Structure 1
Amino acid sequence: MSRRSSSLAALLLTGAALAAGGAARAQLLPPLPVGGLPVSLPQAVRGMPVVGDLVRSLSPEERRAATVPSLDRLGVTSAVGELGRDALAELRRLRLAELVRGNPAALDMGPDGAPVRRGVLIAIDPTDAQLRALAAAGFAIETREDLGGLTSVTLGIPRNLSAKAAMKRLMAAAPGLAADYDHVYEPAGGTLLPVAAAALVGAAPPPMAAGRTIVMIDGGVAAHPSLAGAAIVQQGFAGPAQPTGHGTAVASLLVGRDRMFRGAAIGAKLYVADVYGGSPAAGSASAIVRALAWAASKKPDAISISLVGPSNLLLQRAVAILARRGIRMAAAVGNDGPAAPIMYPAAYTGVTAVTAVDARDRALPEAGRALRLDYAAPGSDMAAALPGRGYAKVRGTSFATPLVAARLAAATSGQALEREALKGSGRIGKGILCRTCRTDPKIVGAK
């Protein structure tokens, strides 16, 4: 490759009845083959002023590496922050279009180029009369989930209709019905990259009080020495839980412990909600909402969400229910640069929006634009676990998010959290949390 370039726990029934797959209780999934992880991303994006030049400059292999989402990617390129608005939008469009193209049976293209589940729409709190009208218009009820104050009905759309055409028919058949596409959300990560800057060796992470519970919504977590002593329960919401590089890295940043490597929430019980089942074409809004309901049933001190996507009405309402219950949630703002669309669920009220800083406390240039930015945490010049054994250098807002979630779980109040925040440079919200939670890649031999 060239170098150019009431409770929500009561909401969704309970536990296993909500999940599409089974729980891997109190154990980790088998490790992924480390050799299967991508190891580089083209640097051709740097300095390309014209969208056409940018796209034409990439070889087929480079274009695929730059545009295909992966559950095993553990970093992004800082060159994203140097792109102009048009070039950035083109790369994002290519990535999402490639995801849909590579999964034609599962995905369709929704409004604004956002991938959605093919063949379905989501109706929210429909009346019986509205459901009868939809049936007369050719829609079929596939699943119905009662969430206490919120009901979600998955509708099979009439054959040969695109998602957008089906939405028009739905609105005509049942005016006033709250409905949305079943959007697909991406892990807020990219490919593995070398880290040029020397990482700072921090002190031990702030202490975590005993008995804390954290839920992460991500991909599945593979076995790793740093996680061998951790209390972890996994549940699948898009089929059985499957190990991913992304989920393993995030879990290690929370509860990992292995000689010189230390997570930010050692001693906490970790519940892992796998919304992908090993497929980047999964991760739908409906799966995330089921995961949130399961998460709420665990009475967590915090939820870590390293996923990004468009606003979705079902997800928005579920997040609002958790927020009203006082459940703290941290979510990544993404890594598509400051010209990218605002990403959700980070932008929802009640969610702590997280960006990332490097070892010099500077905001990462590729961090996404935020409607509201709350805190930053280390997201570069740091190590996280690889599936099976060893460590990787990671970069991106995905990896800052679990660190902020750890501090949310430990904080006694919002005021205490603000007092803990440290100064930095660039757009970092109220400041940097968990600054000492970064593990120097050198001391653990990260690749």
Structure 2
Amino acid sequence: MLKRFSCLAVLLLFLPGAALAQLGLPGVPLPTGGIDRVIDRAMGTVEPVVFSARELTQLRAGRIEKLVRANPKLLELTADGYPARRGEILMFEPGEPALSGLRILGFRVLEREAIEGLDLPVTRLQLPPGVRMREVSALMDRAAPGVRWTPDHVYEQAGRAPSAADLKAEAAPISARVGVIDGAPGESQRVAASKGFARGAPAPSNHGSAVVSLLRRAGVRSIAVADVYGTDPAGGSATAVARALGWLVADGVKVITMSLVGADNLLLSRAVAAARGKGVVIVAPVGNDGPASPYAYPASYPGVIAVTGVDGRDRALIEAGRALDLDYAAPAADMTGFDARGRRIRLRGTSFAAPLAAARIAAAIGGDWRAAADNEAIDLGKKGADSVYGRGLLCGKCR
């Protein structure tokens, strides 16, 4: 029974906030206070359980399946098992001959736009009636061979904010503005700018509030937040994240932390590359699905600073995922932040390592931030850079 309840707790820990409210918990009565209370009560049994890579992989698959089942009109699974917006694909400069061929097959152009700040053209198409995402490749090869396209994948927040605790004093001030792509913070976490990129956004979220509070804890004073989740069950799409990136770039932000994970997506990869081409440093976590999980994106894109998490004893989190090229570690457990209602809460997840690493990079932005980060990083594990801790621990005193 202990292990079953622990699995439930970890599953809840990793679910995106918008999805949690819809799933319900068959067989588990919700006490007053709802999901957060269930997580609080479960946390005491989570850390003693050591999950195998196979168990974490199974948890990931079950979590994604439940998310899609809870939102069948908005989401569906792609051929590679990731959630995406139902009935829509994204194309890049398809040309009129390709569009004509697709129209004959029943595709319909929904929107054409150039994403602000990135000069990135995107065409959004609706699939023919009855066509599933897994059937699109064959149709595209037939009607528009060679044209690049992608599902509009949906990205998960890489951590949860589960329980109450104390918060330490803030660090020395950092003047550089840091951008956040996540949910919006509550009123207790004031930011310099905020904009929504999903239905109902900006909407206060525990996850976004925790990320912002950690940036403040690490000394960041100017924060711009792009809410890509809002109240939309299909929030966190590649389109929303790309638009958020463009808005932050246009705002002049030079360091962006995005605590979300998901599939390799052509629109997102192009948006990240365009932002990096404008001198922006992007920081992202490796996720919480364990070392056997697929590579996490956007953390695995070239040039993105991939961050893993450690606990209070500087041990790598057992649930930490992986990236193609791991850069740094940062605290991700045995520490505190604020939720959307301004309550002090205990945190766990690689989501919370990313903003701390971003803060240290922001402290040196405008100069050789890489050299500064490398000089600050505390070597853990094997000597030198490795696949568990990257180039070392940043912001170790930021707990």
Tell me the equivalent position of 1:429.
390
**Among 200, 208, 221, which residue is 1:247 paired with?**
208
**Matched letter for residue 189 of structure 1:** G
Superposed, which structure 2 residues align to 1:155-170 within 5 Å?
A: 155-170=125-140
Separation in 2, partners of 1:79, 1:317: 41
| Distance apart, 1:139 and its partner CA | 0.8
**Which secondary structure state, in structure 2, belongs to the residue aligned with residue 323 of structure 1?**
helix
**Matched letter for residue 353 of structure 2:** A
**Among 261, 266, 290, which residue is 2:220 paired with?**
266
**Matched letter for residue 192 of structure 2:** I
Unaligned stretches of 5+ in structure 2?
Answer: 12-24, 383-387
| Distance apart, 1:125 and its partner CA | 2.0
Separation in 2, partners of 1:354, 1:213: 20
Separation in 2, partners of 1:155, 1:81: 44
1:63–1:434 Cα change, 3 Å: farther
**Which secondary structure state, in structure 2, belongs to the residue aligned with residue 216 of structure 1?**
strand
Given that 2:184 and 2:230 are in contact with CA atoms closer than 8 Å, whether structure 1 keeps it comes out as yes
Tell me the equivalent position of 2:183.
219
Separation in 2, partners of 1:100, 1:190: 19
Matched, 1:82 2:43: no
Tell me the equivalent position of 1:178.
148
**Matched letter for residue 312 of structure 2:** A
**Matched letter for residue 380 of structure 2:** G
Separation in 2, partners of 1:194, 1:251: 17
Q: Which has the higher contact order (CA 8 A, sep 6+)?
A: 1
**Among 389, 394, 415, which residue is 2:371 paired with?**
415
Q: Deviations over 1:216-235 (max 9, x none)?
A: 000111122xx2xx443211
Tell me the equivalent position of 1:371.
324
**Which secondary structure state, in structure 1, belongs to the residue aligned with residue 80 of structure 2?**
helix
Q: Deviations over 1:91-129 (max 9, x none)?
A: 111100000000011001112221110010111121122
**Among 227, 232, 235, which residue is 2:195 paired with?**
235
| Distance apart, 1:193 and its partner CA | 6.0
| Distance apart, 1:320 and its partner CA | 0.8
| Distance apart, 1:213 and its partner CA | 1.0
Tell me the equivalent position of 1:305.
258
Q: Deviations over 1:216-258 (max 9, x none)?
A: 000111122xx2xx44321110123111110111111112xxx
Separation in 2, partners of 1:188, 1:360: 21
The TM-score normalised by the length of structure 2 is 0.84
**Matched letter for residue 251 of structure 1:** V
Given that 1:41 and 1:62 are in contact with CA atoms closer than 8 Å, whether structure 2 keeps it comes out as no
Matched, 1:324 2:324: no
Tell me the equivalent position of 2:239.
286
1:153–1:43 Cα change, 3 Å: closer
Displaced runs of 4 or more, over 6 A: 72-76
Given that 1:301 and 1:408 are in contact with CA atoms closer than 8 Å, whether structure 2 keeps it comes out as no
**Among 351, 355, 358, which residue is 2:304 paired with?**
351
Unaligned stretches of 5+ in structure 1?
Answer: 6-38, 46-58, 256-262, 439-447
1:117–1:203 Cα change, 3 Å: closer
**Matched letter for residue 234 of structure 2:** A
Given that 2:164 and 2:343 are in contact with CA atoms closer than 8 Å, whether structure 1 keeps it comes out as no
Given that 2:114 and 2:120 are in contact with CA atoms closer than 8 Å, whether structure 1 keeps it comes out as yes
Given that 2:329 and 2:390 are in contact with CA atoms closer than 8 Å, whether structure 1 keeps it comes out as yes
**Matched letter for residue 252 of structure 1:** S
Separation in 2, partners of 1:305, 1:98: 24
Separation in 1, partners of 2:274, 2:256: 14
Q: Deviations over 1:170-227 (max 9, x none)?
A: 23100000001110100001462699xxx9x98863x3443x1111000111122xx2
**Matched letter for residue 112 of structure 1:** D
**Which secondary structure state, in structure 2, belongs to the residue aligned with residue 99 of structure 1?**
helix
1:99–1:253 Cα change, 3 Å: same
Q: How high is the sequence identity, in percent, across the aligned residues?
A: 41
Given that 2:170 and 2:219 are in contact with CA atoms closer than 8 Å, whether structure 1 keeps it comes out as no
The TM-score normalised by the length of structure 1 is 0.76
Separation in 2, partners of 1:348, 1:223: 33
| Distance apart, 1:343 and its partner CA | 0.8
| Distance apart, 1:387 and its partner CA | 1.7
**Among 87, 112, 123, which residue is 1:144 paired with?**
112
Tell me the equivalent position of 1:97.
65
**Which secondary structure state, in structure 2, belongs to the residue aligned with residue 120 of structure 1?**
strand
Q: Deviations over 1:21-77 (max 9, x none)?
A: xxxxxxxxxxxxxxxxxx9864699xxxxxxxxxxxxx844699xxxx99x989995
Given that 2:256 and 2:282 are in contact with CA atoms closer than 8 Å, whether structure 1 keeps it comes out as yes
1:136–1:410 Cα change, 3 Å: same
Given that 2:194 and 2:226 are in contact with CA atoms closer than 8 Å, whether structure 1 keeps it comes out as yes
**Which secondary structure state, in structure 1, belongs to the residue aligned with residue 162 of structure 2?**
coil
1:308–1:282 Cα change, 3 Å: same
Given that 1:223 and 1:387 are in contact with CA atoms closer than 8 Å, whether structure 2 keeps it comes out as yes
Given that 2:161 and 2:210 are in contact with CA atoms closer than 8 Å, whether structure 1 keeps it comes out as no
Number of residue pairs matched by the alignment: 367
